[in-house]
Amino acid sequence: MEAHILHILFILLGIKYTSGNINEATEFARNPEQYTSFYLYSSIRFEDAETLLIYDPDVLMSSKFNPELPTRMLIHDFNGNKNDDFNRYVVAAYLLHQDLNIIVVDWSSAVNIEMKNYQVAVHNTVLVGNVIGSFLEFLNSALEYPLNQVYLIGFGLGAHAAGFAGKKVKSGVIGTIFALDPTGYPFNVNNTATRLSSDDAEYVEVIHTNFLNFGTYSAIGTADFYANGGGVQLGCPGRATMCSHQRSFKIFAESVNNPNGFKGKICEGVLEATSGAQCRGNAEQYYVGGEPARINQLGIFSFRTGLTDPYSRVLA
């Protein structure tokens, strides 16, 4: 999206757009690990989360982290926190499996939440990703934990933080990144070093729901799925809301326990995927999200959703 249009939209939503307290951003840059927290969930009660400390093996060993299980790590958007709707939807969906380590990354301290400063959050995204990468390296060194057992699920700016984490790790390759409506502006789509890319994990799946406002129009993953054209979602009241952006994590959360609910059709390119019409596709079956990931899917896809929850219920 054009910067000036995004600026107007942020004003309508009450989000600060201009550079904020640079000293705060600098303080975070000096010690990002201090302001990035990791919470392990094994109960639907969010207050029962255990705090994991980077580089502290004693805390890790005494926690409920099970090195025999796969790990799913969630990374919120710029104005989120560990208790926001993104985390509540996706954690609840994953907890139904009862066979996963579920870790929520809270980097809300990286931004002055009262000011809701977008540019500060963008500045800190790469730093948050580096901390996450260091945490994963810690898991690997402390427990010989294989990084291909890790999925990163990032929403908005959190999707790019997941990409930076994938770039950071050196002791293996992250298994999967699910990028839920990854932020468009100001990331340069032509520079994979400064944004999420398909090289940041063995498999990177992108769910596009709001490229007209907050998300990216471009296909940047191994598999890119455009919901209802990827611009505005059914049932959302106009463009100046977060509704279409947030629909990405609601679709994903639903897919975790309904892995065949959202069927995609392969497209010839982004233009066809975003035209609003369902792509012609072929005889192959492609599915959005799910647990575990379908890591052999490759290409650009369109899919339809329903108007209301459950979104996999598509009316003819």
- Please report, in tens digits, the pLDDT of each residue of the chain (316 residues total): 555 455 555 555 555 555 445 455 557 777 889 889 999 998 767 778 999 999 999 999 999 999 999 999 999 998 899 999 999 999 999 999 778 999 999 999 876 543 557 777 888 899 999 999 999 999 999 999 999 999 999 999 999 999 999 999 999 999 999 999 999 988 999 999 999 999 999 999 999 999 999 999 999 999 999 999 999 999 998 766 799 999 999 999 999 999 999 999 999 999 999 997 778 887 688 999 999 999 999 999 999 999 999 999 876 5
| pTM as predicted | 0.92
Q: Considering just the CA atoms, what is the radius of gyration of the chain in Å? A: 18
Q: Is residue 312 part of a domain?
A: no
Q: Is residue 283 part of a domain?
A: yes
pLDDT of residue 29: 77
- If we measure between CA atoms, which residue out of 158, 252, 162 comes closest to residue 199? 162
Q: Is residue 224 part of a domain?
A: yes
Q: Tell me how far the alpha carbon of residue 215 is from its chain's centroid.
A: 11
Question: What CATH number is given to the structural domain containing 285?
Answer: 3.40.50.1820
- If we measure between CA atoms, which residue out of 238, 240, 254 comes closest to residue 180? 254
Q: Is residue 47 part of a domain?
A: yes
Tell how many helices (H) and how many strands (E) occur in the chain.
Answer: 8, 11
pLDDT of residue 20: 47
Q: Is residue 237 part of a domain?
A: yes
Q: Is residue 187 part of a domain?
A: yes
For CA atoms 232, 267, 205, 254, the dihedral sign is: positive
Q: Is residue 309 part of a domain?
A: no
Q: Which domain holds residue 83?
A: 3-303
69-105 pLDDT per residue, tens: 999 999 999 889 999 999 999 999 999 977 899 999 9
Q: Is residue 314 part of a domain?
A: no
DSSP, res 295: T
pLDDT of residue 264: 94
What's the structural domain count of the chain? 1
